[in-house]
Amino acid sequence: MPPLFTAALFDLDGTLLDTLTDLADAANHALASVGRPTHPRDAYRTLVGQGVRQLFIDGLGPDHTHLVDDAIAAHLAYYEAHRFDTTRPYPGIEALLKALAQRGVRLGVLSNKPDDATQDVIARYFPDTPWAYVRGHRAGTAPKPDPHAAIEATQALGIPPERWLYVGDTSVDMQTGQGAGMFTVGVTWGFRSVEELWASGAEALIHEPAELLELLDR
């Protein structure tokens, strides 16, 4: 009997890579550059995840939305120069990707990080992984939880949604996977809580990357 799941689509920040410090540093640099207070590092666990524009809408507050574009520009410039300062794959991620590839699982990444940054960090940290689909947020398209890019992945690879695992660490990810018709898997090592993942529709939770392998034949 063939395995039930033959493809896996991963979120990036908080799922494959621990990017929190680099994201917080870049965002705080941007806030300071427009004369606004910065936030503690852990505040970015909830501020990030919905795309860079929403990050600064929330981070600046409703009385300072006129500063959003300037803050975004400062953030992107700083992050481009510093996106590799402290970012690293979570323990066990590289072994998981290798094991999935060896089992013939098609692998993809879908992030709300800008597309150029997504492509850059994937090439930097996972150069040997045979990615079949890598996409970040592109101008003129809706960010996650809009499922259009996840659906695009199923069409590009010719694998129906019900054969996909969607793996992420936030409610945005669970909603995206659900909207695309995929089986949603929440990871507990990322930026958000177990309670958020269950409440937003996770169909399974894993606490270590290797546990994803146990779901393949489910």
Residues marked as catalytic: 11
125 backbone dihedrals φ, ψ, rounded to 5°: -95, -20
H-type alpha helices, the chain: 20-33, 44-47, 52-60, 68-82, 93-102, 115-125, 148-157, 171-180, 194-199
- Calculate the CA dihedral of residues 71, 145, 95, 100 and round it to 10 degrees: -150
Residue 142 structure tokens = 């809706």
Residue 207 structure tokens = 């606490």
Q: How many CA atoms does the CB half-sphere of 191 hold within 13 Å?
A: 29
Do 101 and 130 touch, CB atoms closer than 8 A?
Answer: yes
Q: Which residues contact 35 (CB under 8 A, 6 or more apart)?
A: none
**SS3 category, 80:** helix
Distance CA(151)–CA(163), nearest Å, equals 12
